Structure 1
């Protein structure tokens, strides 16, 4: 999946009027995923995404904070995105849904395994077959 297609899908699923909001949501979510998973898994995920998005999963080696729950995840993304947590939750769900479609199923399963049960609502969306533009 190409960068423009990824962002268009996020924008559509999040029902956002602004492409810039979809880009900001995507970047903030990927940066927070990077904080949550191992460096090796982050690199594996980055390898399957367009370079413009992969950059948000790469960089300085950080030790993942395996203890933060969904609420803390939403707060972290909300701060990066500078949006209200309710809006952020919609954005995060959209990014996860597009990720599920953009990467190999086995890679998505590995990503999913890094998140505790309280994240299930973020993974509840089935893969997208066609998202209206």
Structure 2
């Protein structure tokens, strides 16, 4: 998937007024996600995404913070200035687009590194077998 298509899908899912608004949310959510992944997993995920997102994943790696969904959404909300409910909407718009853009095996690898509760933000009921 090309970056422009990724932004367009996030913009549509998040119902953002502009591509710039969608890009801002993408940057915040991908950075927050990268902080929760081990460096190697962030690199592997980034390899399946548009180069701009891969760059964010490689440079924002935080070494696998084991924070739950509530803390993740708080971080997203701080970045966007949104309420927790809106942060959940924003995160889901980006993470479901990531889920669509990567292989099922890679998505499972990501989900197994995250505490329970993240799968629904990716539009999945859980880790696949």
Superposition TM-score tier, normalisation by shorter sequence: 0.7 to 0.9
- Residues 98, 122 of structure 2: 8 Å contact kept: no
Question: With structure 1 as the length reference, what TM-score do the two structures score?
Answer: 0.85
Distance 1:84 1:2 in 2: 30
Structure with larger RCO (C-alpha < 8 A, sep 6+)? 1
Residue 4 to residue 110, structure 1, CA distance change in 2 (3 Å): same
Deviation of residue 13 (structure 1)? 0.7
Question: With structure 2 as the length reference, what TM-score do the two structures score?
Answer: 0.87
Secondary structure of 1:113's partner? helix
Residue 121 to residue 40, structure 1, CA distance change in 2 (3 Å): same
Alignment match, 1:30: 30
Distance 2:13 2:60 in 1: 31
Deviation of residue 59 (structure 1)? 2.0
Residue 83 to residue 104, structure 1, CA distance change in 2 (3 Å): same
- Structure 1: state its 5+ residue gaps: 127-133
Aligned length: 125
Alignment match, 1:130: none
For residues 90-111 of structure 1, what are the alpha-carbon distances to aligned partners after superposition, in whole Å with 9 as ceiling and x for unaligned? 1111111111111111111111
Distance 2:102 2:110 in 1: 10
Moved over 3 A (4+): none
- Structure 2: state its 5+ residue gaps: none
Distance 1:123 1:103 in 2: 11
2:79 matches 1:80: yes
Residue 85 to residue 60, structure 1, CA distance change in 2 (3 Å): closer
Secondary structure of 2:82's partner? coil
